Amino acid sequence: MAESWTASRGVLATIVVATVAVAAALAWGLGRVGSGIENRNDGVVTVRGTAQRNVKADRAVWKLTITNSGATPADALAGVANGVEAMNGFFAANSVPADAVTLGSVSTFANKEYINGNATGVVLSYEASREVTLRLDDVDKVAELSSNLGEVLAAGVQVSTGGPEYYLASLDTLRPELLSEAMVDAQNRAETLIKAVNGTVGSVRGVNSGPFQVTAADATDVESGGYYDTASIEKTVVATVTVDFETR
């Protein structure tokens, strides 16, 4: 009986010790968690600053492909040459400088006959094509030329195009200006937040610059790696920064 009581006391003591140990561990862990939250909230405030500018594209690139088919390679190439000449005539008639137009290489291929998925060795026709690229800073002129492309098509020229693309050559100049404005915006936001709790904003502890978003005017298209709209002449450029400020 005494031995049983002694064993029971030993087990009880073990349980008590284990319970105390667990409680101590939990208390220490909770203390560490609480300390982490306190350090994150009391010492630093993180805010995002933004800046945007409505701008007009200052560079246009218009790629067109002239195509033609013929019974022989020579026929196909002759048709493409005539189409390129008509395209250049259209540009010249609209006062486009000759050095603004670049001609790509000529490509040809044979359109072969297939029956039940098997080539018969018969050539049905020959296809030829050549790319014509217009690069111009006058984006309004390029837009007008694009809308009048029907004049070339009406002359029988086979032209395919995805339309002009409009770029911001001035983006390199805009970047530092917008980043500076975004930093000021972040500073103002931080001061507004901290002033509400009777605190003050100190020095910058860290800065991350987000990707630039170049969208159609007043659009909301964004991508994590940055967005660049080329279809619109009128654009909105948005810059973002995430800033960590020391607080007191």
pLDDT in tens, the chain (248 residues): 444 434 444 443 443 334 434 344 334 343 333 322 223 356 899 999 999 999 999 999 999 999 999 999 999 999 999 999 999 999 999 999 999 999 999 999 999 999 999 989 899 999 999 999 999 999 999 999 999 999 999 999 999 999 999 999 999 999 999 999 999 999 999 999 999 999 999 999 999 999 999 999 988 888 999 999 999 999 999 999 999 999 98
Using CB atoms within 10 Å of the CB of residue 88, give its burial: 0 to 12 exposed, 13 to 18 middle, 19+ buried: middle
Contacts of 159 (CB under 8 A, 6+ apart): 64, 65, 66, 67, 83, 87, 149, 152, 153
pLDDT at 145: 98
Q: Are 75 and 126 in contact (CB under 8 A)?
A: yes
- Contact (CB, 8 A) for 243 and 47: yes
CA distances from 95 to 10, 64, 92, 131, 151 (A): 104, 18, 5, 20, 16
Q: Tokens standing for 67?
A: 């195509």
Both tokens assigned to 87: 């395209």
Read off the DSSP letter of residue 43. H
- For the chain, which domains are there? 45-56+170-247 (3.30.110.170), 59-167 (3.30.70.2970)
Hey, CA dihedral for 169, 172, 177, 182, is it positive or negative?
positive
Parallel, antiparallel, or unpaired for β 227-228 and 213-216? Answer: parallel
**Residue 90: C-alpha distances to residues 3, 99, 151, 188, 240 (Å):** 112, 15, 8, 54, 44
Q: Cα angle vertex 15, ends 11, 18, to 5°?
A: 135
pTM score, two decimals?
0.77
Report the C-alpha gap between 109 and 88 in whole angstroms. 24
